[in-house]
A and B are shown apart, each in its own frame.
Chain A
Amino acid sequence: MSDNKTTLASGTIFDEAGYDEMQKAENHEIGFRLFRIMFFVVLLFTMVFIIVCSNTENLAGTIISLVLLATLFGFYLLYAYMTAKRGIMNPKFAKSWSGTWIIVFYGIMLAAWSARLIGDIQNDDSFYDVVHYIMWLMISTEAVLMCLCAKKNNKVLKKQLEDDGEE
């Protein structure tokens, strides 16, 4: 019981050292649900922030929010990778994201936005004019990597079931 394990934890609210399985399970569910909310709200907020900062020519704000956007995409991909590694990605999501056409389509988008960005840099366009290209580059990269994660998930799942030699 939790009262016997009080002395083991280091004392932050997120520390699960000393939890038993019930406490872990409950905390994991709470954390997952809040992760979901937090991710989408902060993502939306960050995109708005980027637009506001670039429109008001706030350089520091624009850079920091771009970095935050990249970090959020990083978390999204990390979640996708960690679930794909175990073959436990949401099946519907994995099914819709594992199409090869996604890599082709977003690969082309990636090339197109990169060319546009390079062209604008060479033309000495202002940083604020190219911010949305950077955003699109991030989105395209994220889509390609997500597709790879979905494919990995399906491979892992197939292997798990084939290993058993069952139908």
Chain B
Amino acid sequence: MSDFYNTYEKENVTPSIFRDEDFDEMQKAENYKIGYKLFKILFSVVSIVPAFMYMLSISIGETVSAVMSLILFIFTWVMYVLYAAKASEKGVMNPSFAKSASAEWRIPCCIGFIVFCIILSICDVLDYKLTIAWGIMMVANIFISHYAKRNQKIVMKQLEDDEE
């Protein structure tokens, strides 16, 4: 049976389709590739839905739904930032993206935009609930910019370390 299923038997393990401890290098590589492709699509889908739900909930005055949508919205952006963090840790962030996201003007612009939204909210020009959503996105972008800079530093260090 273990020959048929081509893996090493580990006792007392609850099987999950995503469990990669049971895989060898080929199975891992192929599963990672599939997971990555689906992650890209899932992220795009899931990032739109809570934003939409949040807008809908605040327009119909549904506080509970609005809060839950906001939590999911924050979670989605956290995943985005986490991806950037993990990729930059090894210096494997998309180079074009890293180059543009690490531009010096990014962080000041994001901070400026947050301040601008807050001012508009105080002046009752912008609903504070929208300010919250924009604030979350700008904070995430600040982190992304920070990680993009880190990526560039790490890539440069990797290349410098090898200089003969």
Contacts and interface: CB of A to CB of B under 8 A. Distances in A.
A touching B, CB within 8 angstroms: yes
Interface of A: 1-3, 5-16, 18-19, 22-39, 41-42, 45, 48-49, 52-53, 56, 58, 60-61, 64-65, 68, 71, 75-76, 78-80, 82-83, 86, 88-97, 154, 157-158, 161
Contacts of B13: 92
Interface of B: 1, 4-7, 10, 13, 15-20, 22-23, 26-43, 45-46, 49, 52-53, 56-57, 60, 62, 64-65, 68, 71-72, 75, 79-80, 82-84, 86-87, 90-97, 99-101, 144, 155, 159
Nearest to B36: A31
Q: SS class of chain A's interface: helix, strand, loop or mixed?
A: helix
Given A3-B159, A89-B17, 19 more contacts: A10-B96, A13-B94, A14-B43, A29-B28, A29-B36, A33-B86, A34-B39, A35-B18, A35-B36, A45-B72, A58-B64, A61-B57, A64-B53, A65-B53, A75-B42, A82-B34, A88-B30, A90-B17, A157-B4
A75 B35 CA distance: 10
A95 B5 CA distance: 8
30 contacts: A2-B95, A6-B96, A7-B96, A9-B94, A12-B97, A13-B87, A13-B94, A13-B97, A16-B94, A19-B94, A30-B86, A31-B36, A31-B39, A32-B20, A32-B32, A33-B86, A34-B86, A35-B18, A39-B18, A61-B57, A68-B46, A79-B34, A83-B30, A90-B19, A91-B7, A92-B10, A92-B13, A93-B15, A157-B5, A161-B4
